């Protein structure tokens, strides 16, 4: 029962407790006060009684003292002592005699002392006789008060308690039930009950006489109404917001591409379903997912720079990149980004559109235009080809004539061979015009392209049209040769068509134009810089303003039906824009037309062509070759060539007969060389059948032209090489020899660990050249993760890398080899356990630019097996693998294991010379084609440029650890290029970083960057 009351009336219980406690305190204080007052009254009474004693005994005492009546004095003193509360009486006369009755008490707070003088009045003179002192103490008063205090206290408590109970009862009856009702009303208040008013079971007060309860009820009802109105507004707002969110989500999710909004930390805060689905992550994981991880590696730098550009300039940007899909395919996307600010925060809006179909349509447009151009040039091509055939036939007939001197015979044969090469080039040119597929930009001399186009046009265009060339600039641009060829050819044929009835003049001019700030307004779409100006003008019928506005629209044409597709100028416009160029047109009816094309010029440099390179000597062999081609004369020529170089050749015109012969004894041949296009069984199918019989036999696929096969497809099908006819004898012999040499080697699974893309590319190419299978990791941690997934035969490990360097990674590998699944440090870095390594020993080769004793000691202590010094060469890798894996390898005669720069001479050089030196060094070290060497050189220059930028930032912040790492990386790149002077500077730079000498580092860094400035400005064309 008490517990229920406490729970039901907690406030009342507390009030009762407060009243009881307060009553006790007040009762105690009141009782104490009352007793104190009684005590003071009693003391005052004693004082009054003593004064009365003075009045009643003063005269008699004076008389007895005057008469010296000692007995009378004693009697009087004793009589005074008999009075209540009197404890002692002391009389001292004028002679000092002391008369006392009773014992003088100890002095206390309650002791009352009353004294007065006794004097005799003689005439006009008063004679003092003595002094009397009376001592009184209220002893019995204290006893009375002690007995009276409890009664007083209880009385006061009862009175106060009854008053409190009355007040509490009154509160309970008059107010508490109303308070409980108010509390219940407030506790039960819900959105659904806001329309219910609070009313108390009491008489309403008159207006102006409201008490506290009335004001509380009134306030609660007013609050209820405000809440009711506010909730209504909130509900309507929430419904509106919900409708708007559903509407906006529907819009965002209906967008055809990927939509995302990033904050300044590049965390996705708003995105559509397509964005999440393409990333393949859950909605909760999107915010922490890096979109950059899905961009293909070669486009990441371009993508990052675009984002930085948006944040730096706040200008919208568009960039085309390829993304890796969930099935590991590549999808091209056009990404548009813009920046906006809201509440002081910057946000990046990204919209990505899949442009796969768009690229297909663009390819179709270009292809259609190419076919149109080829049709236009068909007569000229036939004319040129007939001229070439005439030269070949004529020279061969002269060579067959009798009694010729060796010099003349060599002359005729050489002329015939040269004419054959021109025929080959003409066929390749025709094929390149019509070839589909993505093209690559390279340094290109447009003057050469113009000459090729004019050569075709002169044989096609009638003599009524004069062709004039004015080539005043032979500098290079970064462009795709086929596309530039297509642009110039298209504009020239358009000009010819406008003059084919009347004749006229077609002029092609090349000049250099410098776009400055003053000229910038006229060329609004181009930044300031140097440009190649290509002008193609004709004296034909011209165009009006309305036509000029439409000429770059797809399918717009002024030609008659069946004479044109209307795609040519649209394709031209797209190609020019794709080369960061600009195209303008000037024309008027009857005054001809002039097209001006502007392309950014590359810095001056020298491009080394294949003609400048001395070809290595080719070697033959004694191996057995199966040669298959449906052309008998080709078999005769190639078989005789191979037999002259020591090979045993078996030839077949029929691919089916060749397959049957191979089935009888698959081990009788060492290599197969087959044509692609043959009746009954194509070279592709023949190769697959032979590989099904004997999977390890190397095969070479040769073709004059194929729509279904290319180099990559042939390698995927298992062919060792893909060659395009006509094939030069040296090329064929060198390819066969290299394949046969490589086929004798064991194929290794190699893990290449290096954070430098240039080094990755070089070592991968050299290892793949020998047929090894390469897996690449950017740092030690990724390498450990790869070791969990796959077994490797050997590891090439860079010493210095971010996250986890080569030395640490090697120590972890060795720990796992000892402890297997118990290796905690391996699991910590790789994220998983593995038993692939336990009990074994994977050879680890250190990739380094330093072969000093300290580096060797560090590598040995870490558990590395060998060192590979820069520059990385084919022979050096051969020797390393041969030494570690203990199997024979075929190597070239020259020693490839050398310090960087040992093949070159120390010299000062400008940008052109440095590039030439580096190119020649790469050519002497790496067995690669000219195009691959150029790509490697450009890649190394880009790497140097990036390293110099990073070093400049670290130098400004005095980050010595980063400076040491960058110096090591710069030194390695320069060693790969064979630039001796710069390598020495880089060595000194690395040493100064190790010594933490910032001043020396800054001085050396300035010298190094100045010596490389021309190379960096002239290189890296693919940036």
Question: If you average pLDDT over each of 206-215, 701-710, 959-968, which comes out highest?
Answer: 959-968
The CATH class of 462-517+525-604 is alpha beta
* Whole-number percent of the chain with pLDDT over 90: 8
Q: Which of these CATH numbers, 3.40.50.150, 3.90.170.10, 3.90.550.10, 3.40.50.2300, describes 749-885?
A: 3.40.50.2300
Alpha-carbon span 816 to 835, nearest angstrom? 8
Lowest-confidence range among 340-349, 380-389, 941-950, 1008-1017? 380-389
Mean pLDDT lowest for which of 432-436, 514-518, 655-659?
432-436
Task: Report the C-alpha gap between 694 and 789 in whole angstroms.
Answer: 29
DSSP β-ladder status, 317-324 and 330-342: antiparallel
pTM: 0.38
pLDDT band, residue 523 (cuts 50/70/90)? very low
The whole-number pLDDT of residue 625 equals 95
Q: Residue 909: its pLDDT value, please?
A: 46
User: 629 pLDDT band (50/70/90 cuts)?
Assistant: very high
In terms of average pLDDT, the best of 186-190, 357-361, 448-452 is: 448-452
For the segment 369-393, the average pLDDT, to the nearest whole number, is 62
Over range 794-819, report the average pLDDT.
87
Between 26 and 640, whose confidence is greater?
640
User: pLDDT at position 578, please?
Assistant: 80
CB-CB contact of 798 with 753 (8 Å) = yes
Write down the CATH superfamily of domain 247-361: PAS domain (3.30.450.20)
- The confidence score (pLDDT) of residue 913 equals 64
Structure tokens at 193: 């009950």
Question: pLDDT value at position 883?
Answer: 62
**553: pLDDT confidence band, cut at 50, 70 and 90?**
low
Confidence of residue 905 (pLDDT cuts 50, 70, 90): very low
pLDDT of 929 reads: 65
SS3 48: helix
Q: Taking all residues of the chain, what is their mean pLDDT, rounded to a whole number?
A: 77
Q: What is the mean pLDDT of residues 252-268?
A: 83
From its phi and psi, is residue 16 left (phi > 0), alpha (psi between -120 and 50) or beta? alpha
Q: Which of 33-42, 122-131, 557-566, 683-692 has the lowest mean pLDDT?
A: 557-566
Residues 6+ apart with CB under 8 A from 652: 626, 627, 628, 635, 658, 661
- Contacts of 122 by beta carbon, 8 Å cutoff, 6+ apart: none
* Predicted local confidence at residue 631, as pLDDT: 87
Question: What's the pLDDT tens digit per position in 460-481?
Answer: 678 888 999 999 888 888 888 7
The set of long-range contacts for 26-35, using a CB threshold of 8 Å and a minimum separation of 24, is 26/156, 26/160, 27/153, 27/156, 27/157, 27/159, 27/160, 28/153, 30/152, 30/156, 31/149, 31/152, 31/153, 31/156, 32/149, 34/152, 35/145, 35/148, 35/149, 35/152
**Domain locations in the chain?**
4-162, 247-361, 462-517+525-604, 624-743, 749-885, 914-1018
Q: Give the alpha-carbon dihedral of 744, 749, 750, 751, to 10 degrees.
A: 180
Distance CA 631, CA 634 (A): 5
pLDDT tens for 19-34 read: 778 777 887 787 788 7
Lowest-confidence segment of 53-67, 409-423, 779-793 by average pLDDT:
409-423
Q: Is residue 131 over pLDDT 80? A: yes
Quickly count helices (H) and strands (E) in the chain: 32, 26
CB 105 within 8 A of CB 135: yes
Look at residue 899 in the predicted model and tell me its pLDDT.
34
Residues 834, 835, 836, 837: what is their CA dihedral angle, to the nearest 10 degrees? Answer: 100
Distance CA 108, CA 100 (A): 20
**Residue for token pair 């300044």:** 264
**Which distant-in-sequence residues (6+ apart) come within 8 Å of 271 by Cβ?**
252, 258, 259, 260, 261, 286
Residue 656 pLDDT exceeds 70: yes
**Has residue 508 got a pLDDT over 90?**
yes
Regarding predicted confidence, which is higher, 612 or 184? 184
Residue 595: name the closest of 680, 457, 494, 501 by CA: 494
Give the pLDDT score at 461. 79
For residues 44-49, give the mean pLDDT: 84
Structure confidence at residue 189 as a pLDDT band (50, 70, 90): confident
Cβ-in-10-Å burial (0-12, 13-18, 19+) of 695 comes to exposed
Cα(903)–Cα(901) distance, integer angstroms: 5
User: How far is it, in rounded angstroms, from Cα 868 to Cα 873?
Assistant: 9
Note the pLDDT of residue 4.
64
Of residues 260 and 458, the one with the higher pLDDT is: 260
pLDDT of residue 712: 62
pLDDT higher than threshold 70 for residue 902: no
Answer yes or no: is pLDDT of 335 > 70: yes
Give the chain's end-to-end CA distance (angstroms, integer): 89
DSSP 87: E
Give the integer Cα–Cα distance in Å for 115 and 94: 15
pLDDT at residue 534, as a whole number = 93
In this chain, the answer to whether the domains covering 4-162 and 247-361 adopt an identical fold is yes
Which H, E and C letters describe 612-638, residue by residue?
HCCCCCCCCCCCEEEEECCCHHHHHHH
Pair 940, 982: CB distance under 8 Å: no
Distances (CA, A) of 34 to 41, 42, 141: 11, 12, 14
Tell me the average pLDDT across 105-125. 81
CATH 1.20.120.160 fits 914-1018, yes or no: yes
* Gap between the Cα atoms of 801 and 965, Å rounded: 8
At the topology level of CATH, where does 624-743 sit? Rossmann fold (3.40.50)
Q: Kindly state the tokens that stand for 550.
A: 């439409």
Q: What is the pLDDT of residues 557-577, one digit of tens each?
A: 655 544 444 446 777 887 888
Q: Where is mean pLDDT largest: 161-165, 313-317, 935-939?
A: 313-317
Strand ranges, E, within 311-390: 317-324, 330-342, 345-354
User: What pLDDT, on the 0 to 100 scale, is given for residue 369?
Assistant: 60
Read off the pLDDT of each residue in 396-402 and give the average, rounded to a whole number. 71
Task: Out of 226-235, 427-436, 719-728, 855-864, pick the least confident.
Answer: 427-436
- 350-359, 626-635, 882-891: lowest mean pLDDT where? 882-891
Q: For 4-162, CATH number?
A: 3.30.450
Mean pLDDT across 780-801: 87
Cα separation of 1000 and 1006, whole Å?
Answer: 10
pLDDT in tens, 267-299: 888 888 877 777 777 777 776 667 777 788 778
Q: Which of 932, 967, 944 is nearest to 1019 (CA)?
A: 944
pLDDT for 597-625, tens place per residue? Answer: 999 988 654 444 444 444 456 778 889 99
Question: What backbone phi and psi angles, to 5 degrees, belong to 742?
Answer: -70, -30
Tell me what pLDDT residue 1023 has. 38
The winner for highest mean pLDDT among 467-476, 891-900, 957-966 is 467-476
Mean pLDDT, residues 628-645:
89
Predicted local confidence at residue 368, as pLDDT: 66
pLDDT above 90: residue 67 = no
- Does 853 or 892 have the greater pLDDT score? 853
pLDDT for position 810: 92
Which DSSP state fits 646? T
């Amino acid at each position: 029962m008490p517990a229920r009351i406490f729970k039901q009336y907690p406030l009342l219980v507390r009030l009762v407790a407060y009243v009881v406690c307060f009553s006790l305190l007040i009762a105690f204080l009141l009782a104490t006060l009352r007793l104190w007052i009684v005590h003071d009254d009693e003391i005052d009474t004693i004082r009054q009684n003593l004064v009365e004693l003075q009045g009643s005994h003063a005269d008699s005492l004076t008389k007895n003292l005057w008469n010296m009546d000692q007995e009378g004095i004693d009697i009087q003193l004793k009589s005074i002592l008999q009075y209540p509360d009197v404890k002692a009486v002391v009389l001292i006369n004028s002679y000092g005699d002391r008369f006392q009755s009773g014992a003088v008490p100890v002095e206390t707070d309650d002791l009352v002392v009353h004294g007065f003088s006794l004097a005799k009045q003689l005439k006009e003179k008063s004679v003092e006789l003595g002094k009397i002192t009376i001592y009184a103490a209220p002893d019995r008063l204290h006893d009375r008060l002690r007995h009276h205090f409890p009664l007083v206290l209880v009385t006061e408590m009862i009175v106060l308690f009854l008053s409190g109970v009355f007040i509490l009862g009154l509160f309970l009856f008059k107010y508490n039930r109303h308070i409980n009702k108010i509390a219940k009303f407030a506790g039960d208040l819900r959105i659904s009950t806001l329309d219910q008013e609070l009313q108390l079971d009491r008489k309403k007060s008159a207006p102006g006489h409201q008490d506290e309860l009335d004001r509380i009820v009134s306030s609660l009802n007013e609050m209820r109404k405000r809440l009711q109105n506010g909730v209504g507004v909130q509900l309507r707002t929430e419904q509106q917001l919900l409708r708007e969110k559903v509407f906006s989500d529907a819009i965002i999710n209906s967008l055809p591409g990927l939509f995302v909004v990033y904050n300044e930390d590049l965390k996705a805060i708003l995105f559509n379903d397509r964005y999440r689905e393409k990333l393949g992550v859950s909605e909760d994981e999107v915010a922490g997912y890096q979109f950059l991880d899905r961009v293909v590696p070669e486009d990441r730098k371009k993508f990052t720079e675009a984002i930085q550009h948006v944040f730096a300039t706040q200008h919208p940007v568009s960039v085309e990149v390829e993304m890796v899909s969930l099935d590991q395919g590549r999808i091209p996307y056009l990404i548009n980004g813009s920046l906006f600010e809201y509440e002081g925060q910057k946000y990046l809006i990204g919209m990505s559109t899949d442009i796969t179909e768009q690229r297909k349509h663009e390819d179709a447009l270009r292809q259609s235009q190419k076919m149109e151009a080829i049709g236009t040039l068909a007569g000229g091509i036939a004319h040129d080809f007939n001229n070439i055939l005439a030269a070949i036939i004529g020279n061969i007939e002269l060579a067959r004539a009798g009694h010729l001197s060796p010099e003349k015979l060599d002359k005729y044969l050489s002329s015939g061979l040269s004419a054959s090469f021109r025929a080959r080039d003409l066929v390749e040119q025709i094929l390149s015009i019509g070839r589909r597929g993505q093209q690559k930009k390279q340094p290109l001399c447009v003057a050469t392209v113009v000459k090729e186009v004019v050569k075709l046009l002169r044989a096609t265009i009638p003599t009524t049209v004069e062709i004039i060339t004015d080539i005043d600039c032979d500098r290079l641009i970064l462009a795709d040769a086929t596309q530039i060829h297509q642009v110039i050819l298209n504009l020239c044929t358009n000009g010819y068509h406008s003059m084919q009835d009347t004749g006229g003049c077609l002029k092609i001019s090349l000049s250099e134009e410098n776009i400055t700030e003053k000229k910038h307004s006229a060329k609004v779409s181009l930044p300031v810089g140097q440009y190649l100006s290509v002008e193609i003008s004709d004296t034909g019928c011209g165009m009006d303003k309305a036509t000029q506005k439409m000429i770059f629209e797809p399918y717009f044409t002024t030609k008659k039906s069946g004479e044109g597709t209307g795609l040519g100028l649209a394709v031209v416009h797209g190609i020019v824009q794709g080369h960061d160029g600009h195209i303008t047109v000037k024309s008027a009816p009857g005054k001809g037309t002039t097209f001006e094309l502007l392309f950014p010029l590359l810095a001056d440099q020298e491009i080394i062509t294949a003609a400048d390179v001395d070809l290595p000597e080719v070697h033959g062999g004694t191996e057995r070759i199966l040669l298959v081609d449906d052309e008998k004369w080709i078999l005769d020529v190639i078989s005789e060539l191979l037999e002259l170089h020591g090979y045993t050749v078996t030839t077949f015109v029929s691919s089916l007969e060749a397959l049957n012969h191979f089935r009888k004894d698959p081990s009788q041949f060492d290599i197969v060389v087959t044509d692609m296009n043959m009746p009954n069984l194509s070279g592709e199918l023949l190769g697959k059948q032979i590989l099904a019989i004997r999977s390890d036999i190397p095969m070479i696929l040769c073709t004059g032209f194929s729509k279904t096969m290319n180099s990559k497809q042939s390698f995927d099908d298992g062919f060792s090489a893909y060659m395009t006819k006509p094939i030069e004898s040296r090329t064929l012999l060198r390819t066969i020899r290299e394949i046969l040499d490589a086929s004798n080697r064991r194929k290794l699974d190699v893990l290449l660990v290096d954070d430098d893309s240039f080094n990755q590319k070089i070592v991968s190419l050299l290892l793949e050249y020998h047929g090894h299978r390469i897996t690449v990791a950017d740092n030690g941690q990724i390498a450990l993760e790869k070791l969990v997934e796959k077994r490797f035969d050997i590891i090439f490990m860079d010493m210095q890398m971010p996250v986890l360097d080569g030395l640490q990674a090697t120590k972890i590998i060795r720990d796992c080899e000892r402890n297997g699944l118990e290796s905690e440090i391996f699991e910590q870095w790789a994220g998983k356990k593995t038993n692939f390594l336990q009990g074994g020993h994977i050879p680890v080769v250190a990739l380094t630019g330093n072969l000093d004793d300290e580096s060797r000691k560090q590598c040995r202590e870490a558990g590395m097996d060998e060192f590979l010094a820069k520059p990385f060469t084919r022979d050096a890798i051969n020797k390393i693998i041969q030494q570690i894996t203990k199997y024979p390898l075929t190597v070239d005669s020259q020693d490839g294991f050398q310090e960087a720069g040992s093949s070159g001479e120390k010299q000062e050089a400008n940008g052109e010379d440095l590039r030439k030196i580096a190119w020649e060094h790469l050519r002497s070290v790496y067995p690669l084609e000219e195009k691959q060497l150029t790509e490697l050189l450009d890649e190394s220059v880009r790497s140097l440029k990036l390293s110099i930028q990073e070093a400049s930032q670290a130098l400004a912040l005095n980050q010595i650890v980063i400076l040491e790492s960058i110096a090591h990386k710069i030194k390695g790149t320069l060693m790969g290029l064979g630039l001796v002077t710069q390598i020495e500077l880089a060595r000194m730079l690395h040493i100064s970083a190790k010594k933490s000498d910032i001043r020396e580092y800054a001085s050396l860094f300035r010298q190094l960057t100045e010596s490389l400035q021309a190379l960096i400005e002239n290189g890296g064309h693919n940036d």
